[in-house]
Amino acid sequence: MQLEAGSNMSGCGMNENEILIIFDMRCLQDSSYKYRGVGRLSANLVRSVWRLRKKYQISTLGLIDAGFPPLEEGFRCLVDEVVDNSYIVSEGRSIVFIELSPMTHDPLFVARMLNDANILRIAVVYDFIPMLKPERYLPKASDRLHYDTQLIWLSRYDHFFPISQYTADELHRILQIDPSRITNTAAPVDSAFERLFSSAVRERLPKRYVLACGGAEPRKNIECPIKAHAGSRAVQDAQVALVVSGNYPPEWQARLRDLYVGSGGKPELLFFTGFVDEGDLVAIYRDAVCVIVAAHMEGFSIPVVEGMAAGAPVIASNIPAHVELVERGDLMFSADDVQEAMAKLEMLVGDETHRASVIEDQSTRWQRFRADTIANEFWDSVGGLLTPRKPMIHFNVNRGRRPRIAFLTPMPPDRSGVADYSAATIKELGKLVDVDVYARAMLAATPEGAAVANVISAFPFVSPQYDRVVGVVGNSHFHLEIFNSLMRYGGACIEHDNRLLGFYRILHGRERARQVAEMELKRAVSGHEIDSWMGDESLLEATFLGELAKSSTPLFLHSKVTTDLVNERLNASAIHLPFSIYRPWTFDPVDLAIKKSARKRLGMEDGEFAIASFGYIHSNKAVEEIMWAIDLLRSWNIPVKLYCVGGWATTDYQPFLDLRSRLGLDETVVFASEYTSDAKYRDFLLASDAGIQLRTHFLGGLSGGLLDCIAAGLPTVANDDMAEAMDAPSYVVRVPDHPSPVLIAEALAEISDRTRDRTKLRGERVHYSNDHSFERYSELLCQSLGLDTKVRSKPKTKEAAP
């Protein structure tokens, strides 16, 4: 498809009749709007989208804000799917975005779509009332700035549907919108006005009354009909009451009652309806002697049309929106002229012939505002904006350059494994696409492979210059800002950990952690259970990945076990992106001469069966069980020595030292006394005869230490869950997820007997390393993101917008 306005909607291999319609449904979440004309028109348009299905293959999305009240089921069922961010991928479909209320909520929430010229962007426009009364609606400089910003965003739509000719004229005047981009629509009369209702509320009202339509805000000008009715001796003597609609609070009602009595009205003739449902409202309109609407400002006036539809004669203030609807000067008055309003009122109350003629005249005026009529005209106009065309190539490649992505991640000098991993990723990824890095703080230099380095902000999420936005998330505070941005704006996400328990419990609190766990496990979860998981992750049942799975397009996980688990539990579409080796070797690490040199540097004795465990020392790595296994190996006369290569993950490490002493392993088990340098770490990988990497928490947990062992061709013992998560090669000997010291010892003894000569593992090691290289990782990432990497020009270093 293409826009008649000139913007192209793209899709590689796209069916030209396949269209995705996206509705911004935030106004249907907001109680300030969903029960008013805004909500009525919005629901009518969404409900009637099926009219396009006569010609096009339509699917629909409802865009909601997770920070708003939940969308009622009656609205939710109007669309095929509901999403909570505007990071939408076309997947070969043309996209039409319909903003149902553009001036009421944060425009940044939908800015990505407004900045995408490949999307047909349509706005339903109600009014510009704040500009007419800025002292009330825009009292502060910040309010004016916010409103001006909304106007700027409004100007970016391709086509506009104002709800009245007056609003259309204002749209042209304020934003200089070409009339060819404007098609009028209107707020519909509820179908309830074409049915008969019995009403308990109506039975409590007097037999004869005038209905004054208002609302608890000054521009509704209810004071004018209050004064006009109270001051009319003819109306007062005829005992015709005044019923005021609108949900006025008690203190406001009291003030209006004082005004009414002070203007000469009888107190027993004044009534307030308060909030009433649709059926009661219809009955109140239908039995009114007449309806008076005195507003100072409106974009469209639902009460005027409702009164006509109910068969009650209507008089109204002569503002432009009312003139369009009433079209008779003798039924209109100046909003500030009480005497003129009184005269019009007395004519309808006292002259039955005049009243009957007005009813007849107005009986057909409202019918152009039937819901079906408005829906037909709206969707016919939208259909007319679409014309067939040949499919275009997707993404920015069609503009003669490589795809460009924003990559939000911790980066060195952040002391984070994820930061190091991202640096290695960007080095290779930059060979395929242009990468702009957004880090937690301004980096001293642009990372290798990147075109630009900037500080994390909302900019990449709303900028049209990026084909994709990728956020990197892990189980620590380094990722909080990225996580929050993904929750708000959406994007692709590379999630490094198999669980985010600590991230939620520590950074978001126990209650949110509990709610996220319940969503995943589909059962009640107590706060006590959350605390028990924090104390012992071997008890952990939830991944806490539900919110990310919902917000990310797509969610990438490095563990295939976790990927399967998330997709099964959360009905998600997470993608397995195999973990890459970020300590690659520039030489053959299984060479026997290299091994011998490394053992000499580390002071290992000849004949010693050296076992190494890599990473921080913590009980969740089954350190106690491993020490018992070492004791068994020693009893089997295997000259074993265990090296724990990594610092303490806890300050409470005395129990480990006590167990080592009780077992008499002070000379056999070596705990690192300080941070291990990269050179020494690599020497242990080269020099050891076996590795051991265990976890007591599961759900597809990964291990950088295990990956290092595999990359070095070091035979290693690992538990089933972790080995499966990393698709480990055959020289990783698997033990059960809850192994006894005996099973651990037997697995290590097997390595001692069979595979001390690591040269036999060379071929399998090279194959695994190639499959888990950052080059392959970057290729798979681009492929899954739908990026065409055929354009291979060298990225140019430039500054992105701040």
**Below-50 pLDDT ranges, the chain:** 1-14, 388-398, 795-802
Dist. CA 290–CA 308, nearest whole Å: 10
Q: Which residues contact 521 (CB under 8 A, 6 or more apart)?
A: 541, 542, 569
Report the distance separating Cα 519 and Cα 706, nearest Å: 32
Q: Are 461 and 468 in contact (CB under 8 A)?
A: no
Phi/psi-derived region of residue 446, left when phi > 0, alpha when psi is between -120 and 50, beta in every other case: beta
Instruction: Give the chain's count of helices (H) and strands (E).
Output: 34, 27
Q: Report the distance separating Cα 158 and Cα 162, nearest Å.
A: 13
Cα–Cα distance between 709 and 684 in angstroms, integer? 10
What's residue 54's pLDDT?
A: 81
Structure tokens at 436: 């702009």
d(CA 100, CA 25): 7
Which residues, listed in sequence order, are joined to residue 81 by a DSSP beta bridge? Answer: 61
Instruction: Give one DSSP letter per residue of 631-675, joined into a string.
Output: HHHHHTT--EEEEEES-BS-S--HHHHHHHHHTT-TTTEEE-SSP
**Which pLDDT value is given to residue 400?**
56
Given this model, what pLDDT does residue 189 score? 86
pLDDT at position 388: 45
Spell out the residues 6+ positions from residue 763 whose beta carbon is closer than 8 angstroms to its own.
none
Beta bridge partners of 431: none
Are the C-beta atoms of 411 and 452 separated by less than 8 Å? Answer: no
Task: Note the maximum CA span of the chain.
Answer: 118
Residues 193 and 119: their CA atoms lie apart, in Å, by 37
β-bridge partners, 20: 59, 95
Rg (C-alpha) for the chain, rounded Å, is 35
Residue 126 CB burial class (10 angstroms; 0-12, 13-18, ≥19): buried
Q: How far apart are CA 516 and CA 509, in angstroms?
A: 11
Q: List, in order, residues 6 or more apart from 632 with CB less than 8 Å away.
A: 741, 742, 745
Residue 562's nearest CA partner among 507, 495, 479 is 495
Beta strands in 446-588 (DSSP E): 452-455, 468-473, 491-495, 552-557, 575-576
pLDDT of residue 626: 95
Q: How far apart are CA 706 and CA 714, in angstroms?
A: 9
Q: How far apart are CA 54 and CA 758, in angstroms?
A: 67
The string over 145-182, giving b where at least 16 C-beta atoms fall within 10 Å of a residue's C-beta and e elsewhere, is: eebeebbebbebbbbbbbbbbbbbebbbeebebeeeeb
pLDDT confidence of residue 463: 87
Q: Which domains does the chain have, with CATH numbers?
A: 2-181 (3.40.50), 195-366 (3.40.50.2000), 403-576 (3.40.50), 592-772 (3.40.50.2000)
The pLDDT tens digits of the residues spanning 617-671 come to 888 889 999 999 999 999 999 999 999 998 777 777 889 999 999 999 999 999 9
Element (H, E) at 200: helix 200-203
Angstrom distance (rounded) from CA 114 to CA 155:
10
pLDDT at 199: 57
With a CB cutoff of 8 Å and minimum separation 6, the contacts of 409 are 418, 419, 422, 437, 438, 439, 471, 472, 482
d(CA 39, CA 511): 33
Q: How far is the C-alpha of 640 from the C-alpha of 741, rounded, in Å?
A: 15
